[in-house]
Amino acid sequence: MTSKPRVCVAIEPDLIAAATGEAAEPAAERVEAHVAACAPCRDDFARYRAIDSAVGALRSTAPPAGDADAARQRLIARLADLRTRILSYRVFPSSLGPILIARSEHGVALVEYLPREGVAASRLFRMAGVEAQEDSGDLEGLQRELLEYLDGRRRRLDWPLDFRGASSDFQRAVMEATVAVPYGAVSSYTGIAGDLGKPAAVRAVAQALRHNPLPIVVPCHRIVGSGGDLIGYAGNRLNLKEQLLGLEGVPTQPERASKIARRALYHYEPNPGREYCLPTCGDIARRPIGILFTRREQAEARGLVPCTSCHPELHPLPE
């Protein structure tokens, strides 16, 4: 076997490039000049050209269209399934300790006061069928709004909510009724049970809210015992409930911070005339709490009217 002349070896990379359409102009010209004079390289060039045109034919050969279409249909179905299962989450510090929020494509699905053990102990990783994914920035807005809320600079969290994590239709109904209790107002487990038309289900309401996956945004801190006691919050963290109510201006009793100061709030319990009252109207302040308001406007925004016997509009409570 004779070895190739040195000049042919040197030009080979350019020759391959030129034959397969990858050479720059000067190299292509050099190759052209060389192959004009060198028969073996002319042969090489032709072989590479032949490969290049075969590759060109391969390039334009598509697999049967049916294969790709069927594969795409299957992909779309799997993506749709994945989408409903992905929760992206974000952890950040707050005045109430580290908080985790998680959102699906339907809305916010989880707000959690993280346990001491940190994010690995989050209930997010115990939710069936969920694929948790750390957020890459799109939950930043939610974080900001929540921190503004906890700073008292924001009163509403108008977030789309994903209630699919609710353990039952009943829990979902309880959560929806709780969302309807406005900022600065307080209701009771009895009140919510009444709203749902199940006045006997007081304990079940309390249970449902004990496992509220969306604290703060589903404001279970606004739901208290029928006598005004702050009971049951985030396990046993009543101080968080106090802080959140304090933020909203809901007064607690001076000698006992874990009890609402009913005497400083407007009262409503369901009545045909939809009238709200002063706490001094009859024995209303001793009966189970329906809903309490810090300000008259809150009551009136819900379509309630001043009571015609105690006249809260004429004798407003001190702010």
By CB under 8 A, name the binding residues for another protein.
13, 16-17, 20, 39-40, 42-43, 46-51, 54-55, 57-59, 61-63, 67-68, 70-72, 74-76, 78-79, 82-83, 86, 88, 105, 133, 135-138
Contacts of 247 (CB under 8 A, 6+ apart): 150, 152
Task: Supply the minimum distance, in Å, between the C-beta of residue 39 and another protein.
Answer: 6
If the CB atoms of residues 33 and 70 are measured against another protein, the closer one turns out to be 70
220 has catalytic annotation: yes
Contacts of 270 (CB under 8 A, 6+ apart): 194, 290
Task: Supply the minimum distance, in Å, between the C-beta of residue 207 and another protein.
Answer: 33
If the CB atoms of residues 21 and 270 are measured against another protein, the closer one turns out to be 21
Given a contact cutoff of 8 angstroms between Cβ atoms, the answer to whether 185 and 220 are in contact is no
| DSSP per-residue codes, 255-302 | TEEEEE-GGGSEEE---TT-EEB-TTSTTGGGSPPSEEESSHHHHHHT
Burial category of 77 from C-beta neighbours within 10 Å (exposed 0-12, middle 13-18, buried 19 and up)? exposed
If the CB atoms of residues 45 and 268 are measured against another protein, the closer one turns out to be 45
Element (H, E) at 70: helix 65-85
If the CB atoms of residues 134 and 313 are measured against another protein, the closer one turns out to be 134
Q: Which of 38, 41, 220, 307 is labelled catalytic?
A: 220
Task: Supply the minimum distance, in Å, between the C-beta of residue 147 and another protein.
Answer: 21
- The alpha-carbon radius of gyration of the chain (Å, integer) is 35
Taking Cα atoms as reference points, which of 104, 107, 100 lies closest to residue 81? 104
If the CB atoms of residues 95 and 133 are measured against another protein, the closer one turns out to be 133
Task: Supply the minimum distance, in Å, between the C-beta of residue 179 and another protein.
Answer: 24
If the CB atoms of residues 132 and 264 are measured against another protein, the closer one turns out to be 132
Taking Cα atoms as reference points, which of 11, 223, 212, 36 lies closest to residue 113? 212
Taking the alpha carbons of 64, 66, 69, 73 in that order, is the dihedral positive or negative? negative
Tell me how far apart the alpha carbons of residues 281 and 231 are, in angstroms, rounded to a whole number.
26
Task: Supply the minimum distance, in Å, between the C-beta of residue 55 and another protein.
Answer: 5
Task: Supply the minimum distance, in Å, between the C-beta of residue 3 and another protein.
Answer: 16
Given a contact cutoff of 8 angstroms between Cβ atoms, the answer to whether 110 and 91 are in contact is no
Taking Cα atoms as reference points, which of 219, 113, 210 lies closest to residue 156? 219
Catalytic residue list = 220
